[in-house]
Amino acid sequence: MTDIETRTLEAPGATVTYDVRGDLSAATPEVPALLLIGSPMGADGFGTLASHFTDRPVVTYDPRGVSRSVRPDPGSPVRPEDHADDLHRVIDALGVGPVDIMASSGGAINALALVAEHPEQVRTLVAHEPPSGPALPDRDAALAAVQAVSETYRTQGFGAGMARFIALTSWEGPFPDDVAELPAPDPAAFGFPAGDDGSRDDPLLGQNLISCTHYEPAYDALTAASTRVVLAAGDESGQQMAARAARAIAKSLGSEAVAFPSGHGGFLGDEYGMPGDPAGFAAALRTVLDGDGPR
């Protein structure tokens, strides 16, 4: 088992905690350190995937407002640019030159923002299912669907908000124009409480939901970047929003999304009781990092 060294750094408005597996001095231009990131998923979600990359240093972290990366106002929104600045600081602190990144979901949004500003820090970015509403042909309906989730959370609390969020993320195909007016699902159907405890500091629904899903990639900056940007979508994700966005962003960058095994959480082992295909996912990731796939 690889030892894990936990480090912290101070960033404006947050203390960011990250973990280093392996010897950073072993990183080379050919086999750089690998960052595995999500949002709001923290470091705990990437243990299984990290175990497949013992040939290089692996870094995971908790995004600001999540788990060990504390901030004084956990309920206020955080922009992808803020997360990108945290990642910039983490990479700078590693001191090992350009890194490779596998970023999933909101982490993929944040990593695209990072590459747009600091392409010199990233050799290859694999952006797995970034849920960008503006990337979609049905952008107005998609953003309205997200706003409906946010409003449900604001007025009814966590259980109702999460039920509507799951309905959003599992929707197949373009959203209808009246999506925000569709009946909200019953929280109990998903095992969530129907009551409202009054809290509004959930990292997903309160901190990141709107800013993440409303982010539009900086296509000109990404196209001009020295970073190799590869979009990825799960081969079981069908026409769900995040997979559709990955394919749309790839098209806007003049490439095609690479199919990865399983679905949105394809890299997961038993971390949350919803395993994907981490071995297959790791093999696909290694193939891309070794240079097989679009720029």
Is residue 162's pLDDT more than 70? yes
Phi-psi domain of 13 (left: phi exceeds 0; alpha: psi -120 through 50; beta: other): left
The upper half-sphere exposure of residue 96, i.e. CA atoms within 13 Å in the direction of its Cβ, equals: 25
Taking the C-alpha atoms of residue 192 and residue 189, their distance in angstroms, rounded to an integer, is 7
| 112-153 pLDDT per residue, tens | 999 999 999 999 999 999 999 999 999 999 999 999 999 999
pLDDT tens digit string along 1-25? 578 999 999 999 999 999 999 999 9
Rounded to whole angstroms, the Cα distance separating 23 from 4 reads 10
Q: End-to-end alpha-carbon separation of the chain, Å?
A: 34
The Cα-based distances of 207 to 40, 192, 250, 265 in angstroms read 9, 19, 27, 21
Task: List residues bridging with 124 in a β-sheet.
Answer: 100, 228
Q: Of 282, 226, 285, give the one whose Cα is nearest residue 258.
A: 285
pTM above 0.85, yes or no: yes
Instruction: Evaluate whether 185 touches 104 at the Cβ level (below 8 Å).
Output: no
